[in-house]
Amino acid sequence: MMKRNDLLSEIQSRFKEDIIELFDKSSHRVYLEIRPGAIIRVAAYIFKDLGARFNIASGIDTRSHIEILYHFTVEAIDLLISLRVKLDRKKPVIDSLTPVCEAANWIEREIFELLGVQFTGHPELKRLLLSDQWPEKVYPLRRDYKEWDKTAVRDRGTK
């Protein structure tokens, strides 16, 4: 296994065009901001070639962007690499990682329903947690989410 700093410079030279910013937070945490178009290339290299484990992805609505972080752990050297992509808030679209790494299947479905991100190439992009009664295009983790009237859902079957 490569040493930590060798590994980082290898990633940097390999994806020179795709990396926007590298933030070396601490000895075990690195944040890499990349262009959204390059996500499959970079993630596939980290997951397949470096043998990292896919921890999870986490989405956040920062008001200016929809931001997704893909967390990978290189267990042999205890390094957590988080790939950051910033998507347009009006039309958040990104390539799906599921064909590369099966582990991303469910979390992409979750981000799709909670934040409204479209993952192109996902084999089965449907809801994971929210019920069928939840209205379309209402995303609970968006900052502009408004409570909607749930009385009808609550009382179904009682009348």
Partner 1 sequence: MKKTIIPIGPYHPLQEEPEFFMLTVEGETVTDVDVQLGYNHRGIEKLSESKTYDQSVFVVERICGICSTSHPFAFVRAVEDIAGIEVPMRAKYIRTIIAEGERMHSHLLWLGLAGHFLGYNTVYMWVWKLREEILDVMEIISGNRNNYAMFRPGGVRRDINPDDIPLVLKKIDKIIPTLKMLFKAVRDDPVLHARTKGVGVLTKEEAIDYSALGPTSRASGVARDVRKDTVYGAYHEMDWDMIVTQNGDVFDKVVVRVLEMFESIKILKYCFLHLPDGEIDANVKNIPPGEGIGAHEAPRGETFHYVRSDGGNGPVRHKVRAPTFMNLPTYKATVKGAKIADASIILAAIDPCYCCTERMAVQTTRGRRLFDGRELIRLSQQKTAALKRKLGIDQTMLEKLTQGRL
Q: Does 103 participate in binding partner 1 (rule CB under 8 A)?
A: yes
Whether the CA torsion 116, 120, 122, 124 is positive or negative: it is positive
CA nearest to 12, candidates 46, 36, 37, 40: 46
Inter-residue contact 104 to 124 (CB < 8 Å):
no
Inter-residue contact 61 to 141 (CB < 8 Å):
yes
Q: Is the Cβ of residue 16 or residue 135 nearer to partner 1 in the bound state?
A: 135
Q: Of the listed pieces 12-20, 34-42, 53-61, 89-97, which binds partner 1 according to CB under 8 A?
A: 53-61
Site string for partner 1, 113-132 (x = CB under 8 A): --------------xxxxx-
29-34 and 19-26 strand pairing: antiparallel
Contact footprint for partner 1 (CB under 8 A): 25-26, 28-29, 31, 51, 53-56, 58, 60, 69, 71, 73, 75, 78, 80, 82, 101-103, 105-107, 127-131, 140-141, 147, 149-151, 154-155, 157-159
